[in-house]
Structure 1
């Protein structure tokens, strides 16, 4: 679908992508202006739609582009030879914190996507986000040493409780961000709070 755009030289691709990410991250989907994007990127509006079709398709492309870039780097940095469940989660959070420093604009855009409630894209994006979460969770659980968990409690229920705990924590963070003026998220605070949950869950479900 985006073959015309992907056939461009990388410098021009990056210029368009960076301009679009900046505009959507700052203003959200509905208020983002394609006029501002083409002005920043130094191309015509006709060319932008030639590459992407419309604003909605461009937004979908950017989401896939950013999540693929971040996920690929994330999987390279996380040590999947680590079999302890909670140690791997801790490691994953630390990697994410490091990547926030190296890819702030990409993370800001992805964060805004998860906060987005535009009716034009909400249904489709909710589905995309659910699919992405499911795939990443399956990958994350690969190779975990489940023998460390208690045998007197159903393992599937334990994993569901842990998953629900962190999903709820994530929902609370996003809801708080929605109510803040600049959608700011205090990642260090999240890290500290998550560690408290690790301690409780380890005591509850490890032998």
Structure 2
């Protein structure tokens, strides 16, 4: 975890969330290098000095928000429910449903995560990419360990399909960013479900 001033956690929850949401909004609308901490402080209705009293610098604040976003996702995943799902594609559907519900409640979460995932030549790029690589590997072990592999023609294909599903979403996001178009979740889901059906027909017995 990022080391921040413990006094931040002593604040009322409403004030904590005000600072977190202000930072996420500003970081979601700007690349890291162009995000202005004055704007974050203004949106959070605190002084810039107080902001840096809790977070020693801009990078610390950014990494805290990144870890907060990742925890927000993981905390909304019901591990007991995942344990009951043994079908690979049902598990993907469950994950998609959780993420959609989260995005509806947190309007800046998706744009912030997109900037994290597709950061390039930023001061925080190496650190973020390293953590994302670990998350990529750990997620498979954590969420896909209880699958019924007997449904597959070849059990070793499971991880390959997992990678392809990520690459497919990655390609969609990259195309949108190249065209400077906003990501359309409904459109993405239609395409995702179409390809998952193709994978299912080809890799299941």
When the two structures are superposed, what TM-score results if normalisation uses the length of structure 1?
0.89
Question: Moved runs in structure 1, 4+ residues, more than 4 A?
Answer: 76-79
Quote the Cα distance in structure 2 between the aligned partners of 1:42 and 1:96.
29
Quote the Cα distance in structure 1 between the aligned partners of 2:191 and 2:81.
21
Q: Which runs of 5 or more structure 1 residues have no equivalent in the other structure?
A: none
Give 1:96 shift.
1.9
The residue aligned with 1:82 is 85
The residue aligned with 2:8 is 5
- State which of 68, 71, 86 in structure 2 corresponds to 1:68: 71
Quote the Cα distance in structure 2 between the aligned partners of 1:64 and 1:204.
37
> Do the aligned residues in 1 keep the contact of 2:22 with 2:44 (CA within 8 Å)?
yes
Give 1:98 shift.
2.5
Give 1:79 shift.
4.2
> Do the aligned residues in 1 keep the contact of 2:7 with 2:54 (CA within 8 Å)?
yes
Quote the Cα distance in structure 2 between the aligned partners of 1:194 and 1:78.
22
Give 1:64 shift.
0.3
1:21 aligns with 2:24: yes
Q: Which runs of 5 or more structure 2 residues have no equivalent in the other structure?
A: none
The residue aligned with 1:184 is 182
1:35 aligns with 2:63: no
Quote the Cα distance in structure 1 between the aligned partners of 2:67 and 2:59.
13
Q: 1:205 to 1:131 in 2, by over 3 A?
A: same
Alignment of 1:1-207 (within 5 A): 1-2=3-4, 3-75=6-78, 79-150=82-153, 153=154, 155-156=155-156, 158-181=157-180, 184-207=182-205
Q: 1:171 to 1:95 in 2, by over 3 A?
A: same
Quote the Cα distance in structure 2 between the aligned partners of 1:16 and 1:119.
23
Give 1:125 shift.
0.6
Number of residue pairs the alignment of both structures matches: 202
Quote the Cα distance in structure 1 between the aligned partners of 2:101 and 2:184.
14
